Amino acid sequence: MNDQVRVAGRPERIFVSVDESTGRSTISFSPPEAGSPFRRDGDADGAHAMRDAKAIVAKYPGATIHGPHFHAAPTGRVRQRRRPAG
């Protein structure tokens, strides 16, 4: 399995997000043509993703890093729908 982020072109922005419920980090790019999103398991604090993002900025000066943004995935609970009055 490839453990390195691959960039296909010059990114303008690099987004780092961390799913706290799974411990998985994701790096994505703007414009999207710069590269496919890259996910890393076992990165609950986003440290690996931030190191990867900083390495990309070193290679492509001028790109900006946004994040890390922390969120939790939906738990899969079914929403209760209100019944119409009547």
Task: Note whether residue 41 is domain-resident.
Answer: yes
What residue numbers bound the domain in which 18 lies? 13-71
Burial zone of 27 (CB within 10 Å; 0-12 exposed, 13-18 middle, 19+ buried): buried
Task: Note whether residue 23 is domain-resident.
Answer: yes
Neighbours of 12 (CB within 10 A): 13
Output the domain CATH number for residue 67.
Answer: 3.30.420
pLDDT tens-place string over residues 38-81: 999 999 999 999 999 999 999 999 999 999 999 887 766 666 67
Q: Is the dihedral of CA 60, 12, 16, 42 positive or negative?
A: negative
11 close to 34: Cβ distance less than 8 angstroms = yes
pLDDT tens-place string over residues 11-28: 999 999 999 999 999 999
